[in-house]
Chain A
Amino acid sequence: MRNKLFSLSFVIIMILSLSLTGCGSNNTNNNAATATDEPAATAAPANTGGDAAATTEPAAPSGADISGKITFLTNRTDMIGKEYDEYVKRFNEKYPNIKVEFEASQTDYNQQAKVRMASGELPDVMFIPTIPNSDLPKYFASLDDLGLTDQITFKDFKSYEGQLYGITTGNSTTGIVYNKKAFADAGITEIPKTWDEFLAACDKLKAAGVVPLASNFKDKWPLNDWVYSVPRIIDGDPNFPNEKLTSDTPFTMDNGYGKSLSLLRELNEKGYLEKDINSTNWEQSKKDIASGKFAMYYLGNWVINQVIGAGTTSDNVGFFPLPYDNSGTITAPLSPDFFYAVAKNSKNVDAAKAFVKWMIEDSGYEDFAGFISPLKGKESNLTQLKEFQATGVVLQEGTVDDAQVTEITNKAQLDLPAMAQEFVLAKDPQTVFDKWNKAWAKAKKDLGY
């Protein structure tokens, strides 16, 4: 029966995959695996890395000079045997002597990666799990010699002491993804530019028998943006999440957290979310958005292709920034997804690096996944993004998470999306904030910060 427990607990984790279905493939920062502590990054000295490295670009050796076998641990298991095969074929045209193998990690990337790190059994190419940036040099090779340092976005996020260790696989902004026909049928002619207009639109949708916003509340990860990025854009301060360090009461009704979560709570109280927010179904919700049974998501642009894939046409899917207040000027967050990294102890570091570089520059993965390119200034092919930017929205990049903030978060076992759930469901939301403020202050004191 040990066997039963074994298989039970294991099948379990396995099953996680199912839950993960619900979770971000494209969107690590929306991914359950990382949900608890978004980027566990440290405040790396940011600006020193790039310049030094850019000059040391190797004299572009011809592809055939590099050889070896590499493995890539990926969470996009659905691409194995499909898109990845095609990537490898194209990759081998340039690098005929590199053999690429894929390893599937879907259930919990973070957990699997850490178990392997503990035994020093890392794949050659992988995504960076949630570890402090100060640990990056222990496991990963510096990527500055790829010559991409100056061209990539979010280069400071996975850097340490001026060295670059991780490159974003793609970026996302977050906004309202909506079914245009559902909007038109409900008589909404213009996209809402203020919170009041947004509520009015919701009301019309509700009156038309449509669920206005699919929150996918139950799955928790779809709430990530409400706690990781909306607070900082409402507060107008990219560094807002790190300012928790100086406070014993980081969660108040009148700061970014309180305001952001109050919006979500208001939507629920007014009946603009799913009928039973504790019983939501992610796979089904995509079909319902596509068919117009549900009208909107508040998620990253990566979801757009998936909605289209769930049974509608591209011209029926719109995308606009969330009008979180009545000022009329809107900011939207820009956030990176998983970061590629190359294992320091890889037997074929050069081959692994060549593969990462190729994935960034030539694979076209970001278009497939519906991301904004990891390279600066590269236009996205997603028409919805152009629509989004035409609203005059300002994109706000986040800052690297402060290592001490992450440490306190972990010590206090603070899981922000879970707190968001509590906040929305609680009779008195203030009690939720009180509870976590207390936990925060205690953890902060225990750690001596």
Chain B
Amino acid sequence: MFGTLSYNKQKMIIIITFLTIPLLLLATFTYYPALKLIYYSFTNWDGYSPEKPWVGLDNYREVFGNPDIFKVFTHNFAYFVMGILQNIVAIYFAVVLSSKLRGKNAFRIMLFLPYIMNGVAVAFMFGYVFDTTNGSLNLFLNSIGLTGLGQTSWLGTEGLVNYSLASTGFWRFMGYNMVIYIASLQAIPKDIYEAAKIDGAGSFQTLWRITLPNMKPVIQLNLFLTVTGALEVFDLPFVLTKGGPAGASETYVQKVVDTAFAFNNYGLASAMSIILLFFVVIVLVVQQLVLSRGGDK
């Protein structure tokens, strides 16, 4: 009987049996394809034929020989800014909706609603929101008297287009982040709050001293995802602007996908993906260093 084994033996068995299948899944569907990607990056494979000619480091040389490729990362900055903002707003609403408040369930449902919506619907809707001449956003701005602002070409102005696109992501995923934050708020034991109350802490103090520190792992994770998401953004510009006007909203991953499937150069695209991975890792390591220093006080 399992229960009669010593706890140490049980521990061994549990660790092995509980981890085998999940790790196998991870290895098969995430790491094996990633390894393949590394292999492809050393070939000039066209993406479909059986031959995958080895070319060594040629693809990497080509990417670094053409620094223009990296210029598109400036477009990604907007997604980073909006991502941070999205998290701040999500935390705010999570805290508000975890407090005693009439109708909070209704508000939770409402704010989460965008995440439920289908991607097709989102793209369709925002096509109409951002339209310059007939768009609902400009109509609205005009109707409240902001006629100057109501002429804006939200998707056609360089410098603005990425923020418009990123705000679509904000709209869609804020509620998701909020729910994650609410869930993590629930994990904070109630007695801590009661103790704080007895000590006479104000609500702001409670937030700053208890709530936020307790949410740290989740906040950190969401920050991590914000950064990654900003670097790897692809769908929004692809759907709404096709990278326009004149490439002002093109993103790196979009370039990768084009290279692979439109220009039949899967090898080069793989090298570009691997380089992106390195960038993400570097950014995250930096973030980790900064955060952990801040956490030490």
Contacts and interface: CB of A to CB of B under 8 A. Distances in A.
Is the A/B pair a real complex?
yes
Contact of A421 (B119, B236, B246): B246
A17 B120 contact: yes
A204 interface: no
B258 A13 contact: no
A276 B120 CA distance: 24
A415 B258 contact: yes
Nearest to A108: B261
Contact of A410 (B131, B235, B265): B265
B264 A130 contact: yes
Contact of A1 (B132, B225, B242, B246): B225
Contacts of B135: 279
Interface centre among B46, B128, B134 (most CB of A within 10 A): B46
Interface in A12-45: 12-19, 32, 35-37, 40
B29 to A, nearest CB: 10
B171 to A, nearest CB: 13
B123 interface: yes
B287 to A, nearest CB: 15
Interface string A110-142: 110011011000000000001100010010000
Interface residues of B, number: 55
Interface residues of A, number: 52
Interface stretch (A2-10, A70-78, A160-168, A319-327): A2-10
A11 B169 CA distance: 12
A418 interface: yes
A244 to B, nearest CB: 16
B262 A12 contact: no
Interface in B58-102: none
Interface centre among A17, A111, A278, A418 (most CB of B within 10 A): A278
Interface in B136-169: 153-157
Nearest to B50: A138
B53 interface: no
Contacts of A37: 262-263
Contacts of B50: 138
Contact of A275 (B133, B221, B242, B247): B133
Interface centre among A37, A135, A276, A421 (most CB of B within 10 A): A276
A274 B240 CA distance: 17
A379 to B, nearest CB: 36
B279 interface: no
Given A15-B239, A278-B156, A281-B127, A422 B262 contact: no
A438 B232 CA distance: 29
A272 B240 CA distance: 24
B264 A9 contact: no
Contact of B228 (A5, A277, A409): A5
Given A15-B239, A114-B47, A218-B244, 5 more contacts: A13-B235, A110-B262, A218-B155, A277-B156, A278-B155
27 contacts: A9-B232, A12-B119, A13-B238, A15-B235, A15-B238, A17-B120, A18-B119, A32-B242, A110-B262, A111-B261, A117-B48, A138-B49, A138-B50, A218-B155, A218-B242, A218-B244, A219-B242, A278-B132, A279-B133, A279-B135, A279-B154, A279-B156, A281-B134, A410-B263, A411-B265, A413-B263, A418-B243
